[in-house]
Amino acid sequence: MAFRTKRKQEQLSVNDDTQTVAVRPGLGPDTAASVSLDHVSRWFGDIVAVSDVSFGIGAGVTGLLGPNGAGKSTVLKMMSGLLPPSSGEVTVMGQPARGRPESYRELGLVSEQEVIYPFLTGREFVSLNAKLQKLPNAKEAVERAIDLVDMQHAADRKVGGYSKGMRQRIKIAGALVHDPGVILMDEPLNGTDPVQRAEIIRLIRQLGREGKSVVVSSHVLVEVERFAQNILVIINGKLAAAGDYRAIRDRIDSHDHEVRIRASDVRGLAALLVTQPMVRAVRMDRQDRLVVETNDVRSFYQMVPAAAQHADVRLYEMQPIDESLTSVFSYLVEQ
């Protein structure tokens, strides 16, 4: 089982049962690792969530890619020290990830966890994070973090009344308030609308440009391309591939994808989409959402917003279907 691309062979690392990894996966030859996993496994009872994974994370944005249930969240929790590995070692800035609370001055986690103290306002939640970080200029840091995620307008509202996208953004503000060097984000784009998504992607890229080590997990292949140069592909708890995104993009694109779309006028949108060359089939599911099969997912994602605008249709959600993703990832590994 191996992923190979002749064109970018030197930029890729491959993890399989028979091949030795030449370059530390996830890192270039001259890059220092901010976060490092060394033969890490994690199991819950009889279930192996992560199996013998080794890679390093350097400065810049790294995408942690894989279908739901692949082990991405478990990897991030081990990186943040919330979970101990069953075997192997996880280090952050050269020190063990667990058992050193002082290391959290340099680390911020945006977890997939949805619940935030509902009785706090957004500003109070970010302020709570600042106080627990013992920041000397907490007030300034709080305002800066809220500005970063563009939440000033809702900062004095209770978090319990926030939409999912607003909760995501205020969680990001809480994780960034102390300006950490290592930032872990677990599916930060979940539940966000296209505008919020664009804002968060812009922020992720900005953090990467500032030299921070940012790890962003996602099961949305095309989105990862927008913020991460390096990617790690996790499938069934194993590191299936690691390296430059461009090296695997073509392989991903050439496989059929299914995308689910929620919009204000799905029938009108469907009529437009069926005429597009990259669309192979369009159907509606039981919840009146469009399910579109495409053989060129990148062009498809670029085309849909423009088509929707043209038809005066409002897009609410555009998500790849998990079963489709699993098949894409399996295909990727088989190559």
Partner 1 sequence: MTITLLTIRQFLRAKSLMVVAAICLLPVLFAVIPHLIPDEFNLRDLREMLSDVIYLNLFATTLLPLATLVLATAALGDEIDDKTLQYIALKPISRLRIAFEKWFAVMTVTLPVVWVGIVVTWAVISWGNIDAMRDMLLPMLASGTVGVIGFGSVFMLLSLFVQRALLFGVFYVFIWESTLSRFLPGIRSISISHYTRSLFIRLLDDRRVTIDGPSATTTIIITIVAIAVVSLLLSTWRLRTMAME
**Rounded Cα gap, residues 328 and 74, in angstroms:** 22
Binding of partner 1 at residue 46 (CB under 8 A)? no
Binding of partner 1 at residue 45 (CB under 8 A)? no
C-beta neighbour count of 168 within 10 angstroms? 25
CB of 77 to partner 1, least distance (A): 7
Q: Is 160 or 305 the residue whose CB approaches partner 1 more closely? A: 160
**Could you say which DSSP state residue 184 is in?**
E
CB of 330 to partner 1, least distance (A): 27
Is the separation of the CB atoms in 232 and 242 below 8 Å?
A: yes
Among positions 115, 275, 312, 334, the unique one binding partner 1 when judged by CB under 8 A: 115
CB of 145 to partner 1, least distance (A): 14
**Rounded Cα gap, residues 3 and 333, in angstroms:** 5
3-state secondary structure of 102: helix
CB of 167 to partner 1, least distance (A): 12
Among positions 4, 7, 39, 131, the unique one binding partner 1 when judged by CB under 8 A: 131
Among positions 6, 134, 286, 310, the unique one binding partner 1 when judged by CB under 8 A: 134
Binding of partner 1 at residue 43 (CB under 8 A)? no
Q: Quick one: residue 182, left, alpha or beta (phi over 0 = left, psi -120 to 50 = alpha)?
A: beta
- Segment contacting partner 1 (CB under 8 A): 64-72, 78-86, 204-212, 252-260? 78-86
Binding of partner 1 at residue 77 (CB under 8 A)? yes
Among positions 68, 87, 95, 113, the unique one binding partner 1 when judged by CB under 8 A: 113
- Segment contacting partner 1 (CB under 8 A): 7-15, 57-65, 130-138, 322-330? 130-138
C-beta neighbour count of 47 within 10 angstroms? 8
Among positions 23, 48, 128, 307, the unique one binding partner 1 when judged by CB under 8 A: 128
Is the separation of the CB atoms in 34 and 182 below 8 Å?
A: yes
C-beta neighbour count of 291 within 10 angstroms? 16
Among positions 41, 51, 62, 80, the unique one binding partner 1 when judged by CB under 8 A: 80
Question: Rounded to whole angstroms, what are the CA distances from 136 to 110, 113, 126, 194, 315?
Answer: 23, 28, 15, 36, 43
Structure tokens at 55: 């890679």
Kindly state the number of chain residues that form the binding site for partner 1, as judged by CB under 8 A.
29
**Rounded Cα gap, residues 16 and 111, in angstroms:** 29
**Rounded Cα gap, residues 68 and 219, in angstroms:** 7
CB of 178 to partner 1, least distance (A): 9
9: amino acid identity, one letter:
Q
Query: Within 90-109, which residues bind partner 1 (CB under 8 A)?
Result: 99, 101-105, 107-109
Q: Length of the chain in residues, anyone?
A: 335
CB of 224 to partner 1, least distance (A): 24
Q: What is the distance of C-alpha 61 from the center of its chain? A: 10
Is the separation of the CB atoms in 193 and 263 below 8 Å?
A: no
Binding site for partner 1 (CB under 8 A): 77, 80-84, 99, 101-105, 107-109, 111, 113, 115-117, 119-120, 128-129, 131-134, 174
